[in-house]
Amino acid sequence: MTSEKTAMTTKTKGKLDIRPLGDRVIVQRAEAEEKTAGGILLPETAKDKPKEGKILAVGEGRVNDKGERQKMTLKVGDRVLFTSYAGTEVKYQGEEFLIMSENDVLAVIGSSGSGSSER
Cα separation, 27 vs 80, in Å, equals: 9
The domains located in the chain, with CATH, are 24-32+48-109 (2.30.33.40)
Which pLDDT belongs to residue 119? 40
Which pLDDT belongs to residue 47? 55
The one-character DSSP state at 59 is -
Asked if 84 contacts 44 with a C-beta cutoff of 8 angstroms, the reply is: no
Cα separation, 64 vs 6, in Å, equals: 38
Phi, then psi, of 80 in degrees rounded to 5: -130, 160
Asked if 55 contacts 78 with a C-beta cutoff of 8 angstroms, the reply is: yes
Cα separation, 37 vs 55, in Å, equals: 27
Longest dimension (CA), the chain: 55
**3-class secondary-structure state, position 109:** strand
Q: What is the pLDDT of residues 10-37, one digit of tens each?
A: 455 557 788 999 999 999 988 766 666 6
The one-character DSSP state at 112 is -
The residues that bridge with 26 in the sheet, in sequence order, are: 57, 99
Which pLDDT belongs to residue 66? 93
Which pLDDT belongs to residue 26? 95
